[in-house]
Amino acid sequence: MATSKELRIGLVGYGFMGRTHSNGYKRVNDFFPDLATRPVLKAVCGRSEDKAKEFAGQWQYESVETDWKALIARDDIDAIDICTPNDTHAPIAIAAAEAGKMVLCEKPIARDTEESIPMVDAIEKAGVANTVWYNYRRAPAVTLAKKLIDEGRLGRIFHYRANFLQDWTIDANLPQGGAALWRLDAKSAGSGVTGDLLAHCIDTAMWLNGGIDEVSAMTETFIKEREHQLTGKKEAVTIDDACLFHCKFGNGSLGLFESTRYARGHKALYTLEVNGEKASLKWDLHDLHRLEFFDHSDDSLIRGWHDIHCTDGDMPYMDKWWVPGLQIGYEHTFVHQVADFLAAIEAGEPCRPTFRDALETTKVCDAVLKSAAEKSWQTTGVDWQGS
Ligand code: SOE
């Protein structure tokens, strides 16, 4: 099908996530030729005009803005995509929705639940298309895990286990705050590994296994003071460097989650495992095209873990890429999210996770942080709608 309709994108933020999203917009029609909609990189917005211009040149955005309000006011923009630090998500998303723009937002939607609720209200009141970039759902092996679970192949689920381990903040001389380091400043980020990394694990977990009802957590901040990049002064570190929690899902299964930025040697080790009565599955971001699957109904003489290389054309998304055996990677999860967003707007359907779905993830993060602070079990108040 020839693409006929333009979706004019206004991107806010030119950091790492700005690059992943831009790549998604640029690649999508080459590989998803059935889509009738074509993203057009209309404008990139950032506080530094020089950096915005450099980014626009590299990624071929047509123009540059330095004030997101001016970007939202433009008649030639259909969708605002938010890739800025977490403390700026709410005002941009609310203003964009009120202006009738579609809104795409990098995860987590905001710093906490309180800040997220007015965003969801504004989006739903305006009735605009929206999505939040929890991209790992769209790794083909993870989407396959969802299919196997939904088909009932695991049977009753007993356990869900996930880790997200990194090591990039071990150096005590690493400053906090400001460009590229806002994730270390709770004022900008809201929290540390809980909102940045466990939010991914929680989104995938609830998508695969349903809502999380109760949590019990502990957090630790290993380096108590760091120089702040913006003030040049030593300031208290208020993010969680590590977080462990266990939980109960609405379906009665038990969950165990761990995240840290102090696991020397691990760069982005996101792993998950689900154990059911009939079968189990495992996935590892460092080997993202594989799904490990154990099926107890296999003939006992050959029963064991299947190592499924998710590259054949009947695997989720894989008919769009190369030939069997040739794998894809991290950046493709963002291409898939763009493809699903375009397909959803063409069909007039929501693109999951919506802002409302992402709010439920933020509720779990808040309950985790409260549990750690108060050393007590917390109910999450999650109302998971199954997607
Ligand atoms: C942090 O290092 C980070 O870039 C997260 O912000 C992303 O969401 C995660 O996918 C990879 O790690």
pLDDT tens across 179-202, in order? 889 999 999 999 999 999 999 999
Q: What are 163's strand-pairing partners?
A: 258, 271
Q: Does residue 33 share a domain with residue 105?
A: yes
189 C-alpha vs ligand 1 centroid, how far in Å? 12
Nearest to 193 by CA among 291, 277, 266, 114: 266
Tokens, residue 13 = 């933020």
Whether 387 shows a pLDDT value over 80: the answer reads: no
Q: Does residue 191 share a domain with residue 96?
A: no
Q: State which H helix or E strand residue 213 sits in.
A: strand 212-220
Tokens, residue 178 = 């400001």
Nearest CA, atom 11, ligand 1: 268
d(CA 80, CA 93): 8
The verdict on residue 308 lying in a domain is yes
Q: Does residue 345 share a domain with residue 211?
A: yes
Q: Does residue 363 share a domain with residue 248?
A: yes
* Residue-wise pLDDT tens digits, 313-368: 999 999 999 999 999 999 999 999 999 999 999 999 999 999 999 999 999 999 99
Note whether 316 and 144 are within 8 A (CB). Answer: yes
State whether the beta carbon of 268 lies less than 6 angstroms from ligand 1: yes
Residues 6+ apart with CB under 8 A from 252: none
Radius of gyration of the chain (CA): 21
Q: Does residue 310 share a domain with residue 228?
A: yes
pTM for the structure as a whole? 0.98
Q: Where are the alpha helices (DSSP H) in 171-237?
A: 186-189, 193, 199-209
Q: Does residue 162 share a domain with residue 118?
A: no
Q: Does residue 84 share a domain with residue 19?
A: yes
Region 190-219: mean pLDDT is: 98
Report which ligand 1 atom has the smallest distance to the Cα of 200: 8
Q: Does residue 361 share a domain with residue 271?
A: yes
The verdict on residue 385 lying in a domain is no
The verdict on residue 263 lying in a domain is yes
Report which ligand 1 atom has the smallest distance to the Cα of 16: 4
Residues 6+ apart with CB under 8 A from 243: 192, 193, 194, 198, 217, 218, 219, 220, 257, 258, 259, 260, 368, 372
278 C-alpha vs ligand 1 centroid, how far in Å? 33
73 C-alpha vs ligand 1 centroid, how far in Å? 30
52 lies in which domain range?
5-135
Look at residue 300 in the predicted model and tell me its pLDDT. Answer: 97
Whether 4 shows a pLDDT value over 90: the answer reads: no
Q: Does residue 343 share a domain with residue 228?
A: yes
Q: Which DSSP symbol is given to 100?
A: T
Nearest to 188 by CA among 176, 203, 202: 176
320 C-alpha vs ligand 1 centroid, how far in Å? 26
Whether 1 shows a pLDDT value over 70: the answer reads: no
Report which ligand 1 atom has the smallest distance to the Cα of 168: 2
Q: Does residue 117 share a domain with residue 160?
A: no
The verdict on residue 247 lying in a domain is yes
Tokens, residue 108 = 């987590």
34 C-alpha vs ligand 1 centroid, how far in Å? 31
Nearest CA, atom 10, ligand 1: 197
CB half-sphere exposure, 322, CA atoms < 13 A: 9
166 C-alpha vs ligand 1 centroid, how far in Å? 9
* Residue-wise pLDDT tens digits, 153-174: 999 999 999 999 999 999 999 9
- Ligand 1 pocket test target in 84, 197, 266 with most atoms within 8 Å of CB: 197
Q: Which of 135, 169, 192 is the last residue of a domain?
A: 135
181 C-alpha vs ligand 1 centroid, how far in Å? 12
d(CA 153, CA 257): 23
Specify the 3-state DSSP secondary structure of 290: strand
Q: Does residue 117 share a domain with residue 49?
A: yes
State whether the beta carbon of 180 lies less than 6 angstroms from ligand 1: no
Report which ligand 1 atom has the smallest distance to the Cα of 107: 8
Q: Which of 80, 104, 135 is the last residue of a domain?
A: 135
- Ligand 1 pocket test target in 196, 266, 330 with most atoms within 8 Å of CB: 196
d(CA 9, CA 76): 9
State whether the beta carbon of 179 lies less than 6 angstroms from ligand 1: no
Q: Does residue 228 share a domain with residue 349?
A: yes
13 C-alpha vs ligand 1 centroid, how far in Å? 15
302 C-alpha vs ligand 1 centroid, how far in Å? 39
Note whether 283 and 271 are within 8 A (CB). Answer: yes
d(CA 172, CA 354): 37
- From residue 12, how far is each of 65, 69, 100, 313 by CA, in Å? 9, 10, 17, 35
The verdict on residue 257 lying in a domain is yes
Report which ligand 1 atom has the smallest distance to the Cα of 136: 10
The verdict on residue 200 lying in a domain is yes
Q: Which amino acid is at 42?
A: K
Q: Which DSSP symbol is given to 316?
A: T
Q: Which of 97, 118, 135 is the last residue of a domain?
A: 135
d(CA 382, CA 359): 9
Residue 2 pLDDT level (bands cut at 50, 70, 90): low
Instruction: Residue 271: give its domain's CATH number.
Output: 3.30.360.10
Instruction: Residue 56: give its domain's CATH number.
Output: 3.40.50.720
Note whether 280 and 273 are within 8 A (CB). Answer: yes
Q: What are 82's strand-pairing partners?
A: 12, 105
Count of domains for the chain: 2
